[in-house]
Amino acid sequence: MKEHILIVEDDSDILELLEYNLSSAGYDVFGFLNTKYVRQILSEECVDLIIMDRNLPEIDGGLYVEMLRNKNINIPVIFLSAKDSVEDIKDGFLKGADDYVTKPFNMDELLLRIKAVLRRYHGELIKNGSVMEYKDIKIDSNMRTVIIDGKNIEITKLEIAILKVMISNQGRVLDRDFLLKHIWKDSDNIRQKTVNVAMKRLKEKIDPLRQKEYIKTIRGVGYLLS
């Protein structure tokens, strides 16, 4: 399955160059000259990576990414910017960048950096041995337990992976293809019905612990962590 990359670059020539090369490398690409439609795309599409210019007409890209991070949108970001001083680069990482590439840039190097960031990101989503928290949910992968509002429940390794992916993408509706790609390794041989069954079992375990749903089913689209 193709990974989805969102590009925000106000230079139309550079944007066209990026769209062509990333599409040729096998990615699905959304390209924009400003941030006007970014939030809409993030809410409607399963974006795996954002490539963000910093010198945007309406807002500094660093400030925009910082705003995304403050809203718990943790999609990895690579800054692609002419701001190339040590302080600029340091500031970019402090504002939430996963990598920083300065202009002029080498396309082959950028493609390698994209692969590296995506590899780290997808590995972190399903790795075991860490504690992750969201609202009143606390996941302990080592103990294979989830603590919800102070109550311990036992869940499977698969269910832990599902919760981790949903927490890492909170605020986004995740479709079944996205869940297949990020949780099931051999997704080509797994049917979407398998996702439905796994989500149903997880919901049956955690939703009764409070009056409202933790995981909402968005009919015809996917699932949303509330």
Question: How high is the pLDDT of residue 214?
Answer: 80
Nearest alpha-carbon partner for 98 in 86, 83, 80, 82: 80
Question: How high is the pLDDT of residue 188?
Answer: 53
Residues 216 and 145 in one domain: yes
Question: How high is the pLDDT of residue 210?
Answer: 61
* CB contact at 8 A, 30 and 7: yes
Q: Which of 80, 101, 125 is the last residue of a domain?
A: 125
Parent domain of 63: 4-125
Residues 121 and 14 in one domain: yes
Residues 109 and 141 in one domain: no
Reply yes or no: is the peptide bond before residue 104 cis, omega within 30 of 0.
Answer: yes
- Of 89 and 177, the structure prediction assigns the larger pLDDT to 89
Highest mean pLDDT among 6-20, 69-83, 169-183: 6-20
Average pLDDT, the chain: 82
Residues 77 and 167 in one domain: no
Average pLDDT rounded to a whole number, residues 162-179:
81
Residues 103 and 162 in one domain: no
Residues 29 and 110 in one domain: yes
Residues 112 and 158 in one domain: no
Q: Which of 92, 125, 158 is the last residue of a domain?
A: 125
Report d(CA 141, CA 155) in Å as an integer: 10
Residues 135 and 118 in one domain: no
Report d(CA 108, CA 40) in Å as an integer: 30
Question: How high is the pLDDT of residue 225?
Answer: 83
Residues 133 and 121 in one domain: no
Average pLDDT rounded to a whole number, residues 187-206:
76
Residues 29 and 116 in one domain: yes
Q: Could you tell me the CATH number of the domain that includes residue 9?
A: 3.40.50.2300
Residue 126 pLDDT > 50: no
Average pLDDT rounded to a whole number, residues 74-87:
90
Residues 102 and 134 in one domain: no
Q: Which of 125, 144, 175 is the last residue of a domain?
A: 125
3-state secondary structure of 142: coil
Question: How high is the pLDDT of residue 99?
Answer: 93
Number of domains in the chain: 2
Q: Could you tell me the CATH number of the domain that includes residue 191?
A: 1.10.10.10
Least confident of 101-105, 113-117, 139-143, 173-177: 139-143
Residues 13 and 105 in one domain: yes
What pairs with residue 152 in β-bridges? 147
Phi then psi dihedrals of residue 151, to 5 deg? -105, 135
Confidence at 135, pLDDT banded by 50, 70, 90: confident
